Homo-oligomer: A and B are copies of this chain.
Amino acid sequence: MNEISPKRGPETRQHLLEFAAQSVLAKGFAATSIDELIAAVGITKSGFFYHFKNKNELARALLQRYIDDEEALLDDLFRRGDELHEDPLHGFLVGLKMFAEMMQDLPNGHPGCLVASYCYQENLFDRDVRELNTEAVLQWRQRFRERFDLIAERYPPKIPVDFDALADMVSVLVDGGIIISKVLRDKEVLPKQIMLLRDYVRVIFLGT
């Protein structure tokens, strides 16, 4: 009657993380109970504490997984954009378009951003989790900042722009777009915002 096997460890952990992520995005971290997680995955409370020494460790693992996934996604996206264009501007514009299409093709819209979720519950977490969150946003800033610097070498901006602010605008539009999409239950909002950003970037570097 017991189906455990040493091989299934990482698999169980993954299930826990998946289910926890869903629950956290739906009702927040505090309201996500260990009991419901273990019920969903089919293990006992002891099993849970075998995988995570406490709830904060779960929070940490959740966030780390989310950040890694998003980073891989963006890497892939803009690498593919650049493969289609020598030019850093047009490669970026293609990447943004693919990003918008990807967001549009999500069947139920974007499930939510853990960084944003944690941000509105920051007092629940240890310092290290909060710092992880901060670093994630700074990485996005750096990624896009570098891209805009590269673009500006070839295309001097037609409008004076603070590139750090413009780089942050990507994170801002994604996080804000997810929220407005969710609240309106309209999955088109997020991709439309990304396309607006794309138009803005184009007009900054190419003019009207």
Q: Which of A149-183 contact B (CB under 8 A)?
A: 158-159, 161-162, 165-166, 168-169, 171-177, 179-180, 182-183
A28 and B176 form a contact (CB under 8 A): no
Complex Cα distance, B184 from A119, in Å, reads: 10
Among the stretches A65-73, A74-82, A132-140, the one at the interface with B is A132-140
B122 and A27 form a contact (CB under 8 A): yes
Complex Cα distance, B175 from A173, in Å, reads: 9
What B residues does A25 contact at CB under 8 A?
120
> Which A positions have Cβ atoms within 8 angstroms of B?
25-31, 112, 115-117, 119-124, 133-134, 137-138, 158-159, 161-162, 165-166, 168-169, 171-177, 179-180, 182-185, 189, 192-193, 195-196, 199-200, 203, 207-208
Contact A203:B192 (CB < 8 A) given known A119-B179, A175-B176, A176-B176: no
What B residues does A208 contact at CB under 8 A?
158-159, 203, 207-208
What B residues does A28 contact at CB under 8 A?
28-31, 120-121, 124
B179 and A123 form a contact (CB under 8 A): no
A180 and B172 form a contact (CB under 8 A): yes
Complex Cα distance, B208 from A158, in Å, reads: 7
Nearest-neighbor residue (CB-CB) of A24 within chain B = B120
Q: Chain copies in the assembly?
A: 2
Contact A166:B196 (CB < 8 A) given known A138-B184, A179-B175, A208-B203: yes
What B residues does A115 contact at CB under 8 A?
179, 183
Contact A193:B207 (CB < 8 A) given known A26-B123, A116-B116, A183-B134: no
Contact A124:B176 (CB < 8 A) given known A137-B184, A159-B203, A169-B196: no
Nearest-neighbor residue (CB-CB) of A138 within chain B = B184
A176 and B172 form a contact (CB under 8 A): yes
B27 and A27 form a contact (CB under 8 A): no
